[in-house]
Protein backbone atom coordinates (compact mmCIF):
# COMPACT_ATOMS: atom_id res chain seq x y z
CA UNK A 1 0.00 0.00 0.00
CA UNK A 2 1.25 3.46 -0.79
CA UNK A 3 1.17 6.32 1.68
CA UNK A 4 -1.67 8.80 1.69
CA UNK A 5 0.03 11.90 0.35
CA UNK A 6 -1.58 15.18 1.39
CA UNK A 7 -0.64 18.76 0.77
CA UNK A 8 1.34 20.16 3.67
CA UNK A 9 -1.37 22.69 4.41
CA UNK A 10 -1.27 25.32 7.12
CA UNK A 11 -3.28 24.24 10.13
CA UNK A 12 -5.74 26.78 11.60
CA UNK A 13 -4.95 28.43 14.93
CA UNK A 14 -4.66 25.89 17.72
CA UNK A 15 -7.49 25.92 20.27
CA UNK A 16 -6.21 26.00 23.85
CA UNK A 17 -7.99 24.84 27.00
CA UNK A 18 -5.90 25.20 30.15
CA UNK A 19 -6.04 22.98 33.20
CA UNK A 20 -7.92 24.13 36.28
CA UNK A 21 -5.39 22.61 38.66
CA UNK A 22 -1.69 22.14 37.87
CA UNK A 23 0.16 19.06 39.10
CA UNK A 24 3.49 20.90 39.03
CA UNK A 25 3.72 21.14 42.83
CA UNK A 26 3.40 17.35 43.12
CA UNK A 27 6.43 16.58 40.95
CA UNK A 28 9.68 15.59 42.65
CA UNK A 29 12.29 17.07 40.33
CA UNK A 30 14.99 15.17 42.22
CA UNK A 31 13.41 11.84 41.29
CA UNK A 32 12.20 11.66 37.70
CA UNK A 33 12.30 8.13 36.26
CA UNK A 34 12.20 8.20 32.47
CA UNK A 35 8.73 8.29 30.94
CA UNK A 36 6.60 8.22 34.07
CA UNK A 37 5.84 11.90 34.68
CA UNK A 38 3.78 14.11 32.36
CA UNK A 39 2.95 17.80 32.21
CA UNK A 40 -0.43 19.51 32.56
CA UNK A 41 -1.37 19.59 28.88
CA UNK A 42 -1.26 17.64 25.63
CA UNK A 43 -1.76 18.34 21.93
CA UNK A 44 -4.39 16.44 19.97
CA UNK A 45 -5.50 16.62 16.33
CA UNK A 46 -7.71 14.30 14.27
CA UNK A 47 -7.43 13.38 10.61
CA UNK A 48 -10.52 12.33 8.67
CA UNK A 49 -12.33 13.09 5.40
CA UNK A 50 -8.88 13.33 3.83
CA UNK A 51 -7.67 16.30 5.89
CA UNK A 52 -6.40 17.42 9.27
CA UNK A 53 -8.96 18.97 11.58
CA UNK A 54 -8.56 21.72 14.19
CA UNK A 55 -5.71 21.04 16.59
CA UNK A 56 -6.30 21.43 20.32
CA UNK A 57 -4.18 21.77 23.40
CA UNK A 58 -6.11 20.52 26.40
CA UNK A 59 -5.49 19.20 29.92
CA UNK A 60 -3.60 15.90 30.00
CA UNK A 61 -6.24 13.18 30.24
CA UNK A 62 -7.27 9.74 29.08
CA UNK A 63 -8.73 9.42 25.59
CA UNK A 64 -11.73 7.39 24.45
CA UNK A 65 -11.38 5.01 21.48
CA UNK A 66 -13.52 2.30 19.94
CA UNK A 67 -12.41 -1.28 20.72
CA UNK A 68 -12.44 -1.82 16.94
CA UNK A 69 -9.81 0.87 16.24
CA UNK A 70 -7.22 -0.03 13.63
CA UNK A 71 -4.32 0.55 16.04
CA UNK A 72 -5.46 -2.25 18.37
CA UNK A 73 -5.74 -4.86 15.64
CA UNK A 74 -3.42 -3.96 12.77
CA UNK A 75 -0.83 -1.81 14.46
CA UNK A 76 -0.79 1.47 12.56
CA UNK A 77 1.20 3.34 15.19
CA UNK A 78 4.34 5.47 14.87
CA UNK A 79 6.08 7.89 17.22
CA UNK A 80 9.04 10.18 17.77
CA UNK A 81 11.27 11.09 20.70
CA UNK A 82 12.52 14.65 21.23
CA UNK A 83 13.79 16.88 24.02
CA UNK A 84 13.52 20.52 25.04
CA UNK A 85 16.19 22.18 27.17
CA UNK A 86 16.83 25.36 29.07
CA UNK A 87 19.94 27.08 27.81
CA UNK A 88 22.80 26.71 30.26
CA UNK A 89 22.33 30.31 31.38
CA UNK A 90 18.53 29.73 31.61
CA UNK A 91 17.91 32.63 29.22
CA UNK A 92 15.66 30.62 26.93
CA UNK A 93 14.27 27.25 25.88
CA UNK A 94 15.44 25.36 22.79
CA UNK A 95 14.71 22.25 20.74
CA UNK A 96 17.39 20.10 19.10
CA UNK A 97 16.89 19.40 15.37
CA UNK A 98 13.06 19.19 15.57
CA UNK A 99 12.56 19.25 11.79
CA UNK A 100 14.65 16.07 11.54
CA UNK A 101 12.14 14.45 13.89
CA UNK A 102 9.30 15.62 11.66
CA UNK A 103 11.11 14.32 8.60
CA UNK A 104 11.58 10.92 10.21
CA UNK A 105 7.98 10.84 11.49
CA UNK A 106 6.73 11.39 7.97
CA UNK A 107 9.09 8.76 6.57
CA UNK A 108 7.63 6.35 9.11
CA UNK A 109 4.12 7.47 8.15
CA UNK A 110 4.85 6.77 4.49
CA UNK A 111 6.17 3.27 5.27
CA UNK A 112 3.16 2.48 7.48
CA UNK A 113 0.64 3.91 4.95
CA UNK A 114 -0.42 6.83 7.14
CA UNK A 115 -0.96 10.54 6.34
CA UNK A 116 1.95 12.89 6.74
CA UNK A 117 1.84 15.42 9.58
CA UNK A 118 2.04 19.03 8.34
CA UNK A 119 5.00 21.08 9.55
CA UNK A 120 2.74 23.80 10.94
CA UNK A 121 0.85 21.28 13.09
CA UNK A 122 4.04 19.64 14.33
CA UNK A 123 6.16 22.71 14.99
CA UNK A 124 3.48 25.18 16.15
CA UNK A 125 1.78 22.55 18.27
CA UNK A 126 4.96 21.52 20.07
CA UNK A 127 6.12 25.11 20.55
CA UNK A 128 2.78 26.20 22.05
CA UNK A 129 2.67 23.14 24.29
CA UNK A 130 6.15 23.86 25.62
CA UNK A 131 5.35 27.54 26.15
CA UNK A 132 2.30 26.56 28.19
CA UNK A 133 4.13 23.96 30.29
CA UNK A 134 7.60 25.50 30.40
CA UNK A 135 7.76 25.26 34.19
CA UNK A 136 7.96 21.47 33.82
CA UNK A 137 11.38 21.69 32.17
CA UNK A 138 14.00 20.58 34.73
CA UNK A 139 17.20 22.56 35.07
CA UNK A 140 19.48 19.92 36.62
CA UNK A 141 22.34 18.46 34.57
CA UNK A 142 21.36 15.41 32.52
CA UNK A 143 17.65 16.20 32.75
CA UNK A 144 15.30 17.59 30.12
CA UNK A 145 11.72 17.84 28.95
CA UNK A 146 10.95 14.71 26.94
CA UNK A 147 8.56 15.15 24.01
CA UNK A 148 6.60 12.23 22.55
CA UNK A 149 4.70 12.93 19.31
CA UNK A 150 2.74 9.93 17.99
CA UNK A 151 0.23 9.01 15.30
CA UNK A 152 -2.26 6.12 15.43
CA UNK A 153 -4.96 4.69 13.18
CA UNK A 154 -8.39 5.11 14.77
CA UNK A 155 -10.97 3.93 12.23
CA UNK A 156 -13.36 1.52 14.04
CA UNK A 157 -13.22 -1.22 11.45
CA UNK A 158 -11.94 -4.79 11.71
CA UNK A 159 -10.41 -5.43 8.33
CA UNK A 160 -6.87 -5.57 7.02
CA UNK A 161 -6.52 -2.26 5.22
CA UNK A 162 -5.31 1.28 5.78
CA UNK A 163 -7.33 3.28 8.30
CA UNK A 164 -9.21 6.36 7.09
CA UNK A 165 -9.05 8.10 10.47
CA UNK A 166 -6.01 9.02 12.54
CA UNK A 167 -5.11 10.74 15.77
CA UNK A 168 -1.94 12.79 16.18
CA UNK A 169 -0.93 13.63 19.74
CA UNK A 170 1.99 15.09 21.65
CA UNK A 171 2.59 14.47 25.34
CA UNK A 172 5.52 15.90 27.28
CA UNK A 173 7.10 15.48 30.69
CA UNK A 174 10.26 16.10 32.75
CA UNK A 175 12.76 13.28 32.90
CA UNK A 176 16.18 12.39 34.18
CA UNK A 177 18.82 10.28 32.34
CA UNK A 178 17.55 7.14 30.55
CA UNK A 179 20.31 4.85 31.84
CA UNK A 180 22.74 6.99 33.81
CA UNK A 181 25.54 4.40 33.82
CA UNK A 182 27.42 2.01 31.56
CA UNK A 183 25.37 -0.99 30.43
CA UNK A 184 25.93 -4.59 29.35
CA UNK A 185 24.38 -6.17 26.24
CA UNK A 186 23.71 -9.68 25.01
CA UNK A 187 24.38 -10.31 21.33
CA UNK A 188 21.30 -12.16 20.08
CA UNK A 189 21.69 -14.66 17.24
CA UNK A 190 18.34 -16.41 17.78
CA UNK A 191 15.85 -13.54 17.58
CA UNK A 192 16.07 -10.66 15.14
CA UNK A 193 14.83 -7.08 15.31
CA UNK A 194 14.48 -6.31 11.60
CA UNK A 195 15.63 -7.28 8.14
CA UNK A 196 16.00 -5.60 4.76
CA UNK A 197 12.64 -5.06 3.10
CA UNK A 198 10.89 -4.83 6.45
CA UNK A 199 10.16 -1.68 8.39
CA UNK A 200 13.16 -1.56 10.72
CA UNK A 201 13.96 2.02 9.70
CA UNK A 202 10.46 3.21 10.68
CA UNK A 203 9.90 4.35 14.24
CA UNK A 204 6.85 2.12 14.49
CA UNK A 205 5.43 0.62 17.66
CA UNK A 206 5.66 -2.90 16.27
CA UNK A 207 9.42 -2.63 15.92
CA UNK A 208 9.69 -2.26 19.68
CA UNK A 209 7.00 -4.77 20.62
CA UNK A 210 8.93 -7.56 18.95
CA UNK A 211 12.06 -6.82 21.00
CA UNK A 212 10.48 -6.99 24.45
CA UNK A 213 10.60 -10.76 24.96
CA UNK A 214 14.25 -11.22 23.90
CA UNK A 215 15.26 -8.26 26.06
CA UNK A 216 13.53 -9.86 29.06
CA UNK A 217 15.47 -13.06 28.39
CA UNK A 218 18.69 -11.05 28.28
CA UNK A 219 17.88 -9.36 31.58
CA UNK A 220 17.34 -12.77 33.22
CA UNK A 221 20.87 -13.62 32.07
CA UNK A 222 22.26 -10.48 33.73
CA UNK A 223 22.39 -8.10 30.77
CA UNK A 224 20.75 -4.71 30.50
CA UNK A 225 19.84 -4.82 26.81
CA UNK A 226 20.35 -6.61 23.50
CA UNK A 227 22.72 -5.99 20.60
CA UNK A 228 20.75 -7.15 17.59
CA UNK A 229 22.33 -8.79 14.57
CA UNK A 230 21.05 -8.45 11.01
CA UNK A 231 18.08 -10.58 10.00
CA UNK A 232 19.60 -12.05 6.82
CA UNK A 233 22.99 -13.38 7.92
CA UNK A 234 22.70 -13.02 11.71
CA UNK A 235 26.27 -11.84 11.93
CA UNK A 236 26.33 -8.08 11.32
CA UNK A 237 25.73 -5.60 14.15
CA UNK A 238 22.35 -3.88 13.82
CA UNK A 239 21.50 -1.69 16.81
CA UNK A 240 21.07 -1.86 20.59
CA UNK A 241 17.55 -1.82 22.00
CA UNK A 242 16.64 1.86 21.93
CA UNK A 243 19.99 3.04 20.55
CA UNK A 244 22.22 3.05 17.49
CA UNK A 245 25.57 1.37 18.11
CA UNK A 246 29.14 2.67 17.72
CA UNK A 247 32.52 0.95 18.09
CA UNK A 248 36.00 2.44 18.33
CA UNK A 249 38.28 0.02 16.47
CA UNK A 250 41.93 0.86 15.95
CA UNK A 251 41.19 4.54 16.66
CA UNK A 252 38.36 4.75 14.12
CA UNK A 253 34.71 5.29 14.95
CA UNK A 254 32.70 2.55 13.23
CA UNK A 255 28.92 2.25 13.04
CA UNK A 256 26.56 0.10 10.94
CA UNK A 257 25.37 1.77 7.75
CA UNK A 258 21.65 2.49 7.48
CA UNK A 259 20.42 -0.20 5.10
CA UNK A 260 16.68 0.03 5.73
CA UNK A 261 16.76 -2.25 8.78
CA UNK A 262 18.35 0.28 11.12
CA UNK A 263 16.68 3.37 12.56
CA UNK A 264 18.15 6.53 11.09
CA UNK A 265 18.92 8.05 14.47
CA UNK A 266 19.12 11.81 14.75
CA UNK A 267 21.59 11.50 17.61
CA UNK A 268 23.53 9.00 15.47
CA UNK A 269 23.76 11.50 12.63
CA UNK A 270 24.76 14.27 15.04
CA UNK A 271 27.52 12.17 16.62
CA UNK A 272 28.92 11.26 13.20
CA UNK A 273 28.97 14.94 12.20
CA UNK A 274 30.59 16.02 15.48
CA UNK A 275 33.19 13.22 15.40
CA UNK A 276 34.27 14.13 11.88
CA UNK A 277 34.40 17.78 12.83
CA UNK A 278 36.69 16.84 15.74
CA UNK A 279 39.02 15.08 13.31
CA UNK A 280 38.07 11.46 13.89
CA UNK A 281 37.72 8.98 11.05
CA UNK A 282 34.16 7.63 10.88
CA UNK A 283 33.23 4.50 8.94
CA UNK A 284 29.61 3.60 8.17
CA UNK A 285 29.66 -0.03 7.05
CA UNK A 286 28.61 -3.58 7.89
CA UNK A 287 30.37 -4.80 11.03
CA UNK A 288 30.68 -8.57 11.52
CA UNK A 289 30.39 -9.78 15.12
CA UNK A 290 33.54 -11.87 14.52
CA UNK A 291 35.39 -8.67 13.55
CA UNK A 292 34.23 -7.09 16.82
CA UNK A 293 35.41 -10.07 18.86
CA UNK A 294 38.76 -10.22 17.01
CA UNK A 295 39.27 -6.50 17.62
CA UNK A 296 38.52 -7.04 21.32
CA UNK A 297 40.99 -9.92 21.57
CA UNK A 298 43.78 -7.91 19.92
CA UNK A 299 43.09 -4.80 21.99
CA UNK A 300 41.92 -2.77 18.99
CA UNK A 301 38.34 -2.49 20.28
CA UNK A 302 38.72 0.28 22.85
CA UNK A 303 35.19 1.69 23.10
CA UNK A 304 31.60 0.66 22.51
CA UNK A 305 28.60 2.91 23.06
CA UNK A 306 25.00 3.51 22.07
CA UNK A 307 23.37 6.77 21.00
CA UNK A 308 19.77 7.96 21.03
CA UNK A 309 17.51 10.83 22.05
CA UNK A 310 16.72 9.30 25.41
CA UNK A 311 20.17 7.89 26.21
CA UNK A 312 22.24 10.56 24.37
CA UNK A 313 25.59 8.69 24.50
CA UNK A 314 25.72 5.64 26.74
CA UNK A 315 28.86 3.52 27.25
CA UNK A 316 28.73 -0.28 26.98
CA UNK A 317 31.24 -2.04 29.22
CA UNK A 318 30.33 -5.69 28.58
CA UNK A 319 28.88 -7.74 25.76
CA UNK A 320 28.08 -11.42 25.72
CA UNK A 321 28.10 -13.75 22.72
CA UNK A 322 27.66 -17.53 22.60
CA UNK A 323 28.21 -17.95 26.33
CA UNK A 324 31.32 -15.77 26.63
CA UNK A 325 31.63 -12.25 28.02
CA UNK A 326 33.86 -9.52 26.63
CA UNK A 327 34.72 -6.62 28.94
CA UNK A 328 35.60 -3.00 28.24
CA UNK A 329 36.84 -0.38 30.69
CA UNK A 330 34.40 2.48 30.19
CA UNK A 331 36.46 4.71 32.51
CA UNK A 332 39.17 4.69 29.83
CA UNK A 333 36.85 5.71 26.98
CA UNK A 334 38.02 8.86 25.18
CA UNK A 335 35.88 9.42 22.10
CA UNK A 336 32.49 8.66 23.68
CA UNK A 337 32.72 11.28 26.45
CA UNK A 338 34.26 13.80 24.08
CA UNK A 339 31.50 13.60 21.46
CA UNK A 340 28.84 13.51 24.18
CA UNK A 341 30.20 16.68 25.78
CA UNK A 342 30.32 18.38 22.38
CA UNK A 343 26.73 17.36 21.65
CA UNK A 344 25.35 18.39 25.05
CA UNK A 345 27.18 21.72 24.86
CA UNK A 346 25.40 22.46 21.58
CA UNK A 347 22.03 21.34 22.98
CA UNK A 348 22.47 23.54 26.05
CA UNK A 349 23.82 26.48 23.97
CA UNK A 350 27.14 26.43 25.80
CA UNK A 351 29.08 26.15 22.55
CA UNK A 352 28.39 27.75 19.19
CA UNK A 353 25.78 25.94 17.09
CA UNK A 354 27.81 25.92 13.89
CA UNK A 355 25.66 23.16 12.37
CA UNK A 356 22.37 25.05 12.67
CA UNK A 357 20.73 22.41 14.87
CA UNK A 358 19.10 24.59 17.54
CA UNK A 359 15.56 25.97 17.29
CA UNK A 360 14.51 28.54 19.88
CA UNK A 361 11.08 28.10 21.47
CA UNK A 362 11.18 31.01 23.90
Question: Can you give the pLDDT at residue 30?
Answer: 86
Q: With 90 as the cut, is the pLDDT of residue 189 above it?
A: no
Q: With 70 as the cut, is the pLDDT of residue 46 above it?
A: yes
Task: For residues 340-357, give the mean pLDDT.
Answer: 96
Q: Domain 15-175 class? A: alpha beta
Cα–Cα dist 218/212, whole Å: 10
Task: For residues 57-84, give the mean pLDDT.
Answer: 97
| Contact present, 145 and 172 (Cβ < 8 Å) | yes
Q: With 60 as the cut, is the pLDDT of residue 203 above it?
A: yes
The mean pLDDT value of the chain amounts to 94
Domain boundaries, the chain: 15-175, 183-347
Task: For residues 279-287, give the mean pLDDT.
Answer: 98
Task: For residues 39-60, give the mean pLDDT.
Answer: 97
The CATH code of the domain at 183-347 is 3.20.10.10
For 225-269, write each residue's pLDDT tens digit. Answer: 999 999 999 999 999 988 999 999 999 999 999 999 999 999 999
| pLDDT-above-90 percentage for the chain | 88
Please tell me the least confidently modeled range out of 6-20, 27-41, 189-203, 229-243.
6-20
Q: With 80 as the cut, is the pLDDT of residue 173 above it?
A: yes
Q: With 50 as the cut, is the pLDDT of residue 2 above it?
A: no
pTM assigned to the model:
0.93
For 112-167, write each residue's pLDDT tens digit. Answer: 999 999 999 999 999 999 999 999 999 888 889 999 999 999 999 999 999 999 99
Strands 144-153, 166-175: pairing is: antiparallel
Q: How many CB atoms are closer than 10 A to CB 315?
A: 20
pLDDT band at 56 (very low <50, low <70, confident <90, very high): very high
Question: Can you give the pLDDT at residue 9?
Answer: 53
Q: With 50 as the cut, is the pLDDT of residue 5 above it?
A: no
Amino acid sequence: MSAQVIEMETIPSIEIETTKESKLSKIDFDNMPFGKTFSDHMLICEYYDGKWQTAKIQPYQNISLSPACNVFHYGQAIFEGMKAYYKADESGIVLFRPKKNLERLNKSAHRMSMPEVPESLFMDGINKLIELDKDFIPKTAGSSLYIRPFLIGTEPFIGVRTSDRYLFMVIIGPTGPYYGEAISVLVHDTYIRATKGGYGSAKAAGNYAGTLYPVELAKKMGYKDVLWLDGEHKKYANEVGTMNIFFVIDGKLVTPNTDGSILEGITRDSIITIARDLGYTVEERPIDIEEIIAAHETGKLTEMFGTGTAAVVNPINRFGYKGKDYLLDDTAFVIAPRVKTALVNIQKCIDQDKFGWITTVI
